[in-house]
Amino acid sequence: MESLRRFIAIALADLRERTRSVRFWLVLAIVAALTWLCFPSAESQQLALGIGGARGRYSSAWAGLTLALMYSTLLAWMGFYLVRGTLVRDFDSRVWQLLVATPMTRAGYLLAKWASHMVVFCVVLAAGLLVGVVAQWVRAEDRAFDLVQMVKPVLLLTLPSLAVTAFFAIAFDMVPVLRRTAGNVLYFFVWVFVFAAMVTTFNPEESAWARQTMLSDPSGITLVQRDLMRTLPALAPAVEANQINIGLTQLDRPVTLFEWTQWWVGWGDVAGRLLWVLAAMGATVALAPALNWAASRTTATQPAARPGRRLRWLDRLLRPLEAFNAGRLLASELRLMLRQRRLWWWITLLACWGVQIGAPAPVQTGAVIVAWMISLDLFARSLLRERETGTAALVMTAAHASARLLSARTLACVIIAALSVWPALVNLAMHSPPVALNLLLVALGVALSGLALAALCRSPRPYELAMVLLAYLGVQGAGPLAFHAASPGMGWAVGLAPVVCLALLVLAWPGVNGQQSGAEGAFISS
């Protein structure tokens, strides 16, 4: 009982820490608003969960299935950024040293952290289910409410998926190099492999074994596909049951509706889904022997391990800037940013420069995106330096420190974003000046959007999350980072983005280090 009491105390302490933040409730409200988009009307010719261009009527069973699949895929990705960081907070604040002195076991501590992540996910799921109930009533396609049928898909599909996400949030907090931007970027590719690529392993359309086994992928898509292939031909013979489309899709024809009032799941399938939860818990417990090692690697020990490089050539290169006052601060910022770069960063940047010189357009686009991605932490964290190190009270005492720091760091980030792609800029300027101009505008947008989002959100994660998604789209030839294939509409957006980001940056910057007062100051401190 004493161990259980400690377990619950740790989980509740994390939950209270989160729910006291205005940011948590803001994120919850945004998630609830986005959940409403999962239930478009039939007249809109849109689908959130489509089966061969059709969907079930909004019964409790279909609303629950829609929420379950949307959350088991997308929330498994974005939820990682929502819950991660609790272990790092305990390590950096020295709370771990107090906890380790108690009879609490290390495995129990990690399981309590895992459970606290799951509680946060359950709060989000509860808000989503409430939106689903409202959507079922408002859309009025089937108002017969069945609580079991609505909740069952969420329990069987979403919770196992989020259990794996909670494990990764703890594992990434344990590894020092993955606690910041590198981990935020890497997890996207982990998610693509674990939650997307594994769907092919259990694809019931291509494997007879997958149609018989009780196992399924972490998100549960193959389990739903298997059941639809069995039951849907009798409900809607014209619908291709093997084509599941998750995400908002616009059709060029009216939406086909069919009846879906219940989802029957066998006990073997339930056991298969439970295996993912047990596997996540077992993997979390397996990290316990490394907990002391992880706790000893905190931000307090990092500066000693990374004194910075000499880079004497950089001093000579920046010497002309030191002829005037504003230039000295800019030169100092550039030295501070570049001297802390690791060797792999310089090697990767040089490789990207070489590829950018004469590579075909798709390869050149990929090299440009990689060059920006390795500097993601500079764009996302430069304005948060004093906030993260607790030096704002000292730094901001200098005359006009706020305006001078803002201008110097903004210009430094813009210079780094542009220099990261200078071979592509020079090459395109000689052969295709409009594309070169588009690339330069995208570079400005990449740097300024990172600074603006950091100033607005007081956190680097929203920008990192957005950039990872845009980079994924960019290497596939879509989105603003695909500067070679920009449409006229995208060109306007790319051109306006730096102006909008700069305006937001100037407006939000004074509050980053608590320089504002009143209601806004209370919001920032929360």
Q: From first to last of its 526 residues, what are the pLDDT tens digits of the chain?
A: 666 777 787 778 777 888 777 778 888 888 888 899 889 988 888 888 888 888 889 999 999 999 999 999 888 888 898 888 888 888 888 887 777 777 778 888 899 899 999 999 999 999 999 999 999 999 888 888 999 999 999 999 999 999 999 999 999 999 998 888 888 888 888 888 877 778 877 878 777 787 788 888 898 888 888 888 888 888 878 777 777 888 878 888 888 888 888 888 888 999 999 999 999 999 999 999 998 888 887 765 554 445 556 778 888 888 888 877 778 888 888 988 888 888 889 999 999 999 998 788 888 999 999 999 999 989 988 888 887 777 777 776 666 778 888 888 999 999 999 999 999 999 999 888 888 898 999 999 999 999 998 888 888 888 988 898 888 888 888 888 888 876 666 666 777 888 888 888 888 877 676 544 333 333 233 3
Q: Domain ranges for the chain, please list them.
A: 2-296, 317-525
- Whole-angstrom Cα distance, residue 388 to residue 509? 15
Assess contact for 110 and 291: CB atoms under 8 A. Answer: yes
Under 8 Å CB-to-CB from 240, ≥6 apart: which residues?
51, 52
DSSP string computed for 168-193: HHHHHHHSGGGSSHHHHHHHHHHHII
Amino acid letter, residue 16: R
Residue-level length of the chain: 526
Alpha helices in 253-400 (DSSP H): 267-286, 291-296, 302-305, 312-318, 325-339, 343-358, 361-373, 376-381, 385-389, 392-395
- Whole-angstrom Cα distance, residue 121 to residue 58? 24
Q: Of 181, 15, 154, whose CA–CA distance to 73 is shortest?
A: 154
What is the crossing angle of helices 361-373 and 433-457, to 10°? Answer: 30
The number of beta carbons lying within 10 Å of the beta carbon of residue 256 is 17
Look up tokens 């009780």; give the residue: 214
- Model-level pTM? 0.81
- Whole-angstrom Cα distance, residue 80 to residue 185? 11
- Whole-angstrom Cα distance, residue 241 to residue 231? 9
- Whole-angstrom Cα distance, residue 271 to residue 275? 6
According to DSSP, the residues that pair with 51 across neighbouring strands are 54, 244
- Whole-angstrom Cα distance, residue 47 to residue 39? 8
Assess contact for 417 and 443: CB atoms under 8 A. Answer: yes
